[in-house]
Amino acid sequence: MTTWQLTYQLPNDFETNSLRNLLEQQWLLPHRIVHFLRLRQDVMVNQNYLPMNFMVKATDKISMRFLASDFRTSESRYLMDNSRVIKILFENENLLVVNKPAGIKTHPNQPFETGTLLNFVAGYLAKSRAAPYMVHRIDQQTSGAVIVAKNPIVVPILDRLISSKQIARSYVAWVSGVFDQDAGKIELPIGYDPADKRKRKVAGVKAQSALTMYQVLKQTGDRTLVRLELATGRTHQLRVHLAAIGHPIIGDPLYSMAGNEKMLLHAAELKLIVPFEQTKIKIYAPEPPYFNNL
């Protein structure tokens, strides 16, 4: 049976807290998994099993052993593909952040499919006997920073950090037209487009609220470079919102008439809280060479 062992020493400035609060409130492990750790006595403080109400303090060493049965998705089934080298922006024992090129999917949709980001990451991780687990995705034609977990332990932690906006992503895009104001927000509900199953549309079928913030960075003729931040994460949100206000992303094959070989949307910056270490870091994904050729 596959197992994962993690050990962390609490930092010198750690404020004394109960072991349970450390695991659930600070490290964000799901209550269900903490329950399994307790039942099996698979969480140790300084190599000793202690009750969950034990007060842990600075410099204590916390060791945890996880089993595959602890997780709803414990096995990574992505086939290895070594045909492409992916740029690694950050990596530690639990996760990596990669700079996805435009034109490749984040993950496969068919059982034996290769050629996607997670297939390439599987090939990269094979030498270290780790495997990729999907945390979030970006569109096939979008480039930029993507988080990939290296074990199932951090997937629910990262999910909670993303949903609570503690992990934030910023995009840059070249769009058509000139904005009337340098910054603003787009708050329009997004649903399915009944005329095209590939697309979404404002006020479409089963529409959900969606909010995007934008800031103008540069203008070149009738084209504008904008910085974008998502307050919600609807499918195609940036693409639909910008098209809806008359500023479609250049090169967008679904929502823009402004042709370009590549869609000029890039996930440029990622503010990440590193699980267990709880350090805050900012990761920049360099823009592809074609991005500023306008």
The CATH number of whichever domain residue 254 belongs to comes to: 3.30.2350.10
The answer for 272, left when phi > 0, alpha when psi is -120 to 50, beta otherwise, is beta
Position 273 pLDDT exceeds 70? yes
Position 36 pLDDT exceeds 90? yes
152: its two tokens = 């199932």
String of DSSP letters for 18-59: EHHHIIIIIS---HHHHHHHHHHT-EEETTB---TT-EE-TT
* Domain's final residue, options 13, 46, 69: 69
Answer whether residue 219 is part of any domain. Answer: yes
Q: What are the pLDDT digits (tens) for 82-130?
A: 999 999 999 999 999 999 999 999 999 988 999 999 999 999 999 898 9
* Domain's final residue, options 40, 69, 98: 69
The overall average pLDDT reported for the chain is 95
- Report the share of the chain in percent with pLDDT over 90: 91
Alpha-carbon span 186 to 266, nearest angstrom = 19
Answer whether residue 155 is part of any domain. Answer: no
Q: What are the pLDDT digits (tens) for 161-179?
A: 999 999 999 999 999 999 9
Average pLDDT over every residue of 244-264: 88
CB distance 156 to 146 below 8 Å: no
The predicted structure's pLDDT at residue 234: 92
Average pLDDT over every residue of 147-167: 96
The confidence band for 294, taking pLDDT boundaries of 50, 70 and 90, is low
Q: How many domains does the chain have?
A: 2
Position 145 pLDDT exceeds 80? yes
What letters, b where the CB count within 10 A reaches 16 and e where it falls short, cover 73-110? Answer: ebebebebbeeeebeebebeebbbbbbbbbebbbbbee
CATH code of 17's domain: 3.10.290.10
Enumerate the active-site residues.
139
Average pLDDT over every residue of 75-80: 94
The predicted structure's pLDDT at residue 223: 94
The confidence band for 259, taking pLDDT boundaries of 50, 70 and 90, is low
Centre a 10 Å sphere on the Cβ of residue 255 and count the other Cβ atoms it contains. Answer: 19
Position 293 pLDDT exceeds 90? no
Average pLDDT over every residue of 240-250: 96
Position 154 pLDDT exceeds 90? yes
Answer whether residue 145 is part of any domain. Answer: no
Answer whether residue 90 is part of any domain. Answer: no
Determine the structural domain holding residue 195 and report its residue range.
170-267
Q: What are the pLDDT digits (tens) for 40-72?
A: 999 999 999 999 999 999 999 999 999 999 998
* Domain's final residue, options 28, 49, 69: 69
The answer for 203, left when phi > 0, alpha when psi is -120 to 50, beta otherwise, is left
